[in-house]
Amino acid sequence: MSAKNWSSRARAIDSFKVMDLLKRARELDDQGFDVVHMEAGEPDFSAAPLVKAAASKLIDAGSIQYTPAGGIAPLRQRIAQFYAERYGVHIGPERVLVTPGASGGLLLAFALLAEKDSSFMMADPGYPCNPQFLRLVEARAQRVRVDASTNFQLTAELVREHWQPDTAGVLLASPANPTGSVVPPDEMAKIAAVVRELGGELIVDELYHGLTYGFDAETALALDSDVIVMNSFSKYFGMTGWRLGWLVGPADAVAEMEKVAQNLFISPPTISQHAALACFEPESIELFEQRRVEFGKRRDLLVSGLRELGFGIARPPEGAFYVYADASHLTDNSFDWCWSLLEEDKVAATPGADFSRFDAERYVRFSYTTGLDRIELALERLAKRGAR
């Protein structure tokens, strides 16, 4: 095949830099090196026992066929019930769309809301794949530079200031990757009001709900029933490789996105859907909450240790499992520094270049998706590196 025949859309897609680093880290693992993995956004906890048992039972039954594109009815109903239980928000199952990962859901939302040559506003730094989804639908990301002064989040004032004629809407992430920051409910409501006033749509990424520390996050659906919210079974529920997520939106929008899903995906993974029902059992929820406590301990250890080593952390992450640390006291090129850290000290972390076009060379993302003993080992190696 000739590369000259590749589409401009494909050529425009940027690589996910952490995947290159992760590949190299695993090569070092295979060579017998003891690598501390703090690069990937994947919990080290596996799926809950009840989830695994449900999957095994379905496999043994031998009937694994396509499902409706929007997901099996029991799962849509159970997700709707979950919103009532956890948030006090009452929605019908017709407003729930089960998706092949939250990434599949965001692609569907952009396919619905982003016209060709339109833009969606989002915070920079942010999750690197989001702009690529927009490129696939021939729209673009309108990245707005944010920093510690706004807790690395958009505000209603910033949304109004940066709104352009081609802006179709705003994408928020709360808690956010890579910063772990959360949009306060009052600010979320103000942003939603500004977006509506300006004729746009609001999408809120809530993938890290359940993984906040010292408080429970409030869903954007409690503030504005017309938003689209994204969630996933990957993070809080520990089902990364099962590739299952969901979105909630207005019923007519969900029906339209289901039509697109029929053509793109046929259906979400059947085994994953049936197994995910077990996530909502009290035994599973108890386990997930124990894990949240453990993540909080890891966060505290990592933040304290990095600060002692001179890394800049304006405020501890409120959610998710990342610390976005200013490493400018050590380097003016965090991309090269992270590769050197991996090769020389066997600690894998992600350079800021994956998440930002602004000040990326100053920042490094550390994931606390490994045990306390491994975090302590990483801090020891960082201390020795700084002493060299």
Domain locations in the chain as residue ranges: 8-46+284-387, 62-281
| pLDDT the model gives residue 40 | 86
| pLDDT the model gives residue 336 | 95
Residue 11, Cβ neighbours under 10 Å: how many? 9
Residue 169 pairs in a beta bridge with 120, 201
Phi/psi-derived region of residue 363, left when phi > 0, alpha when psi is between -120 and 50, beta in every other case = beta
Q: Residues 365, 309: contact at Cβ < 8 Å?
A: no
| pLDDT the model gives residue 50 | 99
One-letter amino acid for residue 54 of the chain: A
| pLDDT the model gives residue 26 | 95
Q: Cis omega (within 30 of 0) on the bond before 175?
A: yes
3-state SS, residue 313: coil
Q: Cis omega (within 30 of 0) on the bond before 317?
A: no
- Strands of the sheet containing 245-248, edge to edge, are 96-99, 245-248, 228-232, 201-205, 167-173, 119-124, 140-145
Handedness of CA 133, 137, 138, 143 (dihedral sign): negative
| Separation of alpha carbons 242 and 269, rounded Å | 8
| pLDDT the model gives residue 388 | 58
Q: What is the pTM of this model?
A: 0.96
| pLDDT the model gives residue 4 | 82
Q: Residues 322, 367: contact at Cβ < 8 Å?
A: yes
Residue 45, Cβ neighbours under 10 Å: how many? 16
| pLDDT the model gives residue 387 | 54
Q: Residues 311, 327: contact at Cβ < 8 Å?
A: yes
Specify the residue for token string 């990757």. 177
CATH of domain 62-281: 3.40.640.10
Residue 265, Cβ neighbours under 10 Å: how many? 16
Q: Cis omega (within 30 of 0) on the bond before 178?
A: yes
Specify the residue for token string 């029902």. 277
Looking only at the bridges linking them, the beta strands covering 245-248 and 228-232 are antiparallel
Residues 6+ apart with CB under 8 A from 286: none
Domain 8-46+284-387 CATH assignment equals 3.90.1150.10: yes
- Flag residues of the chain having pLDDT under 70: 387-388
Residue 15 pairs in a beta bridge with none
Alpha helices in the chain (DSSP H): 8-12, 17-30, 49-61, 73-87, 101-113, 129-136, 156-162, 185-197, 251-264, 270-276, 282-308, 334-340, 372-387
Q: Residues 197, 164: contact at Cβ < 8 Å?
A: no
Q: Which two tokens stand for residue 162?
A: 């940066």
